[in-house]
């Protein structure tokens, strides 16, 4: 009886969520956790084959997850994705997880203008734009939630990538601003800043010696 009561208390049955970059690493774990609580989820990824593979596995687990191919660094693709979410969830969205991100680990003096644009558009601009686009849907839900997946590098200095760290620091401040600005619309905004986690992003960005640290 106690177990059933606990499940009801923590149930998110019927809630809807958009999780960007949900096929790998932290995003994949978020999708599975939310789906386990009964959330109906839409996610996105750049790799169509891998996205379809994940969707098939989630279907076999009984999870309610759909997905779209989307490069979150593209303004038009972000708008197209949100149009899909609007249609799927009848213009209401309970949860937005701004998870998609990327890193090119280099010393500051080696970063190019293209590196700068890549980090800004993928990490910060996408989160900002998705939040803007999702606002009316989150407001319509009556109790919207935005979670920004940031990084400890946005809080303290780490010698990984100054541009990456700057985007995560800006993301933390964006969460603070939206939490205050949109509180009257019953929308909460929070930022989560994990340290290094064994994900494909970390594996690809750093050498073995750094990962031992």
| Residue 133: partners with Cβ closer than 8 Å, 6 or more residues away | 78, 79, 82
Task: Look at residue 1 and tell me whether its pLDDT is greater than 50.
Answer: no
Phi, psi of 45 (to 5 degrees): -160, 160
Say which range, 11-20, 66-75, 115-124, 192-201, has the weakest mean pLDDT: 192-201
Residue 40: beta bridge partners?
16
Residue of 204 and 213 predicted with greater confidence: 204
Right CATH for 13-192 from 3.30.2320.50, 1.10.150.120, 3.20.20.80, 3.40.50.720? 3.40.50.720
- Whether 128 is catalytic is no
Determine the Cα–Cα distance for residues 91 and 140; give it in Å rounded to an integer: 7
Q: Note the pTM of the prediction, 2 decimals.
A: 0.89
Q: Which of 44, 164, 171, 174 is catalytic?
A: 164
DSSP letter at 108 equals: G
Task: Look at residue 156 and tell me whether its pLDDT is greater than 90.
Answer: no
């Amino acid at each position: 009886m106690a177990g059933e009561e606990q499940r009801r208390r923590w149930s998110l049955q019927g809630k809807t969520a958009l999780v960007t970059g949900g096929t790998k690493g932290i995003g994949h774990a978020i999708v599975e956790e939310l789906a386990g609580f009964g959330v109906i989820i839409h996610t996105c990824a750049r790799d169509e084959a891998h996205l379809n593979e994940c969707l098939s596995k989630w279907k076999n687990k009984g999870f309610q997850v759909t997905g779209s191919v989307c490069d979150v660094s593209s303004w038009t693709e972000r708008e197209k994705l949100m149009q899909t979410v609007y249609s799927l969830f009848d213009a209401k969205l309970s949860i937005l997880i701004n998870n998609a991100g990327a890193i090119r680990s280099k010393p500051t003096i080696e970063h190019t203008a293209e590196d700068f644009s890549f980090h800004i558009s993928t990490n910060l601009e996408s989160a900002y734009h998705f939040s803007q686009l999702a606002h009316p849907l989150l407001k319509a839900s009556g109790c919207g939630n935005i979670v920004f997946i940031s990084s400890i590098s946005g809080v303290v200095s780490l010698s990984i990538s100054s541009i990456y760290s700057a985007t995560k620091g800006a993301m933390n401040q964006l969460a603070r601003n939206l939490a205050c600005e949109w509180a009257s619309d019953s929308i909460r905004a929070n930022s989560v800043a994990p340290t290094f986690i064994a994900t494909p992003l970390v594996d690809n960005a750093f050498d073995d010696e750094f990962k031992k640290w």
